[in-house]
Structure formats: C-alpha cells, structure tokens
Structure 1
Amino acid sequence: MTQSKENLKSEFIQFAVDAEVIRFGEFVTKAGRTSPYFFNAGLFNDGTNLGKIANFYAQTLLDSGVEFDMLFGPAYKGITLASATAVALANKGRNVPFAYNRKEAKDHGEGGTIVGAKLQGKIVIVDDVISAGTSVRESVELIRASGATPAAVLIALDRMERVGSDDQLSAHSAVQEVSRAYGIPVIAIANLNDLFACLSAENADEKLAHYKNAVAAYRQRYGAI
C-alpha cells in the first residue's frame, strides 16, 4: 500500500522527532535568530536511521513527478544523503547513478573534484536543508559546467523562513529564492507547516505540544508565505 503524501510528511516529522534530529528548546541559527526548534540531519548517524531517511527522500522524489537521470550530493552532508537515496531508489525499482564533489580538487589518481558517475542528463541535488543556498549555487555551477541539467533540489526540511536581517527581511524564503534564481523546483520531504501540524494534533505528545506556541510565534515573525 502506497503512503499518501500527507502521511509521508507526518511520519517523517515523527521519525525525526523520535530520532532527536528535530529538537526543541532555544537554538541560535546561522542567521543569528533564536529558534524554538533545530534540525540536524547529521544525527541520522546509524544504519537504521540512515536507511529510513533515505526511504523518505526516495519516495518524496518519486511522488514529485520530477524527471531525473541521476543524483548529486554536495559535500559534505549531501554525500551520504545522495548515496543512501540512490540505494533506496534502487530498492523501489529505480536504479540511477550518483556523484558528489570534493571540497578541494584531488591532484593525484583520477584527480578532479567530482567522484562517482559522470554528470549527465537531468540531475537532482540532494541535501539536508537550504540556508544561504551556497551549496546549491556551487552544485548548479558544477552540473552546468559538465553539460548536464539541474532538475531539482531535494531536501529534508523546508524551514520556510524569510531571509535577511530582522530590519531588512525579504518577502521570500531561502527555498523560494533558490527556486527563482535557478528556475528549478525545490522538493522538501516536509516543511515548517507540517511540523506545526504535528505539534497541534490532538494526539500530540504533551512535551512536544508545549512548544506549539513558540513555533507559532516564530513562524508568524519569520515565516514566508
């Protein structure tokens, strides 16, 4: 039985919370904001959890309907996520190649900055989140320089936050700006609204529901439409 998209989102949120990849409290983001929650995909750090997150990535990508020929993982977190997603896709009957980049070019052996399959065709960039969009820009440049086409960006969580300083907030989120800048869709397994829905559910854990108002206030202040 195929999971519905909404069920997939809520199951992912619950999975990330249970694995403590989504944590609640007070966290300072790269933008200097005090956030009531934090998402760290680096904590998917054992075989079971990596296999589960890869399955969420793979199913979300297949459900999106985006046409693609291969995956690309930006160093460093994207390397593991793209390779694990390729395995999950193969288990679902879609065997595709993948590649990733080095931060620094290798000057011996095969050399270069790209490891894995040759970049060709329509390529999906796999990463954890989009903050400033730097890794996406670098990935798009590498892909286009190889004569291939960036088809989409696949991420775990869209924080749906407007970019910029508090006194100069953009009308758009980092995800929206990346999509507009490169003309490609950004596909997220789940987003801030999905997280809030889980916190607001009637059967929500009392400890998690405690953070609902803080997340709501944060979304009101920084959330993009």
Structure 2
Amino acid sequence: MAMDDAGQDALAQEFVQFSVESGVLRFGQFKTKAGRMSPYFFNAGLFDDGAKLGRLAQFYARRILASGIEFDMLFGPAYKGIPLAAATAVELARLGRNVPYAYNRKEAKDHGEGGSLVGAPVQGRVLVIDDVMSAGTAARESIAIIRAAGATPHAVAIALDRQEKATENGQDTEHSAVQYVERVLGLQVCSIARLADLLAYLATHSDGALAGYHAQVLEYRRRYGVD
C-alpha cells in the first residue's frame, strides 16, 4: 500500500475523506449491534447514487489489486454485498482485470432458473465483497454458500475494519470479527481503511466540525480496540 510522507496509507486517507464528505461516516453517539455507544458510525448504504457507488468501487478495486490476493471471481452476499460486488467487478474490468461475479438471494426461487444463486457459476477461489464486519456472521454464511456450490471461499474485501473486539453471548472477546475470519475461518481479509486510518485523519482535521472527535474515537479504541 502506498504511504505518504507522514507514513500514512494514502488510499485509506482518501477513502476516509470521501466517506466523511459523502455523509457515510458520521460522528456523534451511535449504538452498535454489540450495544456499545460509538462516537462514529459508518453506513455504506449511503453510497446511494451512481457517482458515489462508482467511486466506492474504485477504492475496492484499487485495494484488492494492491493487496496481491489471488481470486477467480467475486461474490456479493445479499443484500448490501450485491451492488458492491457488481460495481467492483465493473471497475476491475476497467482496470484490466475482468472476472465473473455472483450473488445470492435470501429466498430461493422455485421458477425460472431457480435456486438461490444468481450470476456466474460459483467456482474457483472466491473473493467476498462486503461493507463491514461486526461478528463474522455474514462471512460464515457466505462461506457455507460458496462451499455448497463446490468453490473455495478464499478472501474477503471490506470497506472499513473497525478494529474492535467482537462479542459472543453478550461478552467481549479478545479478537475482532476480522481476526476471527482470518484466524478461525482461514480467509484473507483486506480493507480499504481501518479505524487507525480514521484516527490519523481526525488528527490532521482537528478543527471545525470535526473538532473534539479525535479524542472521543481514540478513547473508544482504547476501550474496545484490537491491533
């Protein structure tokens, strides 16, 4: 990954700024699925027009290609992953890496082609495209679908790695959802940006509307963060 003169991940910094300007990354007080009060909230569903989705796909494609992850096709888990995988496939093709993609339905069809999978045949090494990971549940579901099709779940690309402890049965664990997917499920994970990148961004934009949020996010990371 390309670093700037300050040693920061240039692509991640560009992405964080884009997310803030798009209203996708917001600051305040937000309750997470784990019941924590977070000083920031990332809602990828707000990449909600053609221009924003196209630029988001550029970030995914650039990070995926830079990661060196080997893959034969993309998979978008329903529902959020469907437009992400489709848009990323378009951008990868534009950059000279044309690969097939597929996605699943929540409910299987009993007419037409039937089944729960749509798109290209699911085969080879599959790269799952998703927005964030909270507990690794979506990754486990994707793995099951991909294996049932006879393919190999190989890696996951996400927009933001929150770098915070996951929860199990209401208790904090010592690992994040990303670490669980990597260490327990055995998949590679690449993210466009991480919480550390968000903190670096806030540290250099500590005036105006973002004033004070660096300290809040840093305290949240100290309480719930993992490396």
Quickly name the TM-score band, shorter chain normalised.
over 0.9
Structure 2 stretches of 5 or more lacking a match?
4-8
The CA deviation string for residues 11-35 of structure 1, in whole angstroms up to 9 with x for no partner, is 0000000001000000001111100
Give the counterpart letter for 1:139 in structure 2: S
Q: Distance in 1 between matches of 2:158 and 2:188?
A: 11
Equivalent position of 2:87 in the other structure: 84
User: Under a length normalisation based on structure 2, what TM-score does the superposition of the two structures give?
Assistant: 0.94
Q: 1:12 aligns with which of 11, 15, 34?
A: 15
Equivalent position of 2:217 in the other structure: 215
Equivalent position of 2:153 in the other structure: 150
Q: Distance in 2 between matches of 1:164 and 1:131?
A: 9
Question: Aligned-pair distance for 1:214?
Answer: 0.5
Alignment of 1:30-41 (within 5 A): 30-41=33-44
Question: Aligned-pair distance for 1:204?
Answer: 4.6
Task: Determine if the alignment matches structure 1 residue 115 to structure 2 residue 118.
Answer: yes
Equivalent position of 2:198 in the other structure: 195
Task: Determine if the alignment matches structure 1 residue 67 to structure 2 residue 70.
Answer: yes
Question: Aligned-pair distance for 1:144?
Answer: 1.1
Give the counterpart letter for 2:114 in structure 1: G
**What is the identity percentage for the equivalent residue pairs of Structure 1 and Structure 2?**
60
CA distance change for structure 1 residues 64 and 110 in 2, over 3 Å: closer, same or farther?
Answer: same
Task: Determine if the alignment matches structure 1 residue 104 to structure 2 residue 107.
Answer: yes
Q: Distance in 1 between matches of 2:22 and 2:125?
A: 33
Question: Aligned-pair distance for 1:105?
Answer: 0.5
User: Under a length normalisation based on structure 1, what TM-score does the superposition of the two structures give?
Assistant: 0.95
User: Which secondary structure does the structure 1 equivalent of 2:220 belong to?
Assistant: helix
Q: Distance in 2 between matches of 1:197 and 1:38?
A: 17
Q: Distance in 2 between matches of 1:166 and 1:98?
A: 35
Asked if structure 2 preserves the Cα contact closer than 8 Å seen for 1:200 and 1:209, the reply is no
Q: Distance in 1 between matches of 2:169 and 2:112?
A: 48
* Count of aligned residue pairs for this structure pair: 222
Equivalent position of 2:6 in the other structure: none
Equivalent position of 1:133 in the other structure: 136
Q: Distance in 1 between matches of 2:168 and 2:125?
A: 35
User: Which secondary structure does the structure 2 equivalent of 1:128 belong to?
Assistant: coil
Question: Aligned-pair distance for 1:65?
Answer: 0.2
Q: 2:188 aligns with which of 171, 179, 185?
A: 185
User: Which secondary structure does the structure 2 equivalent of 1:176 belong to?
Assistant: helix
CA distance change for structure 1 residues 183 and 165 in 2, over 3 Å: closer, same or farther?
Answer: closer
User: Which secondary structure does the structure 2 equivalent of 1:163 belong to?
Assistant: strand
Structure 1 stretches of 5 or more lacking a match?
none
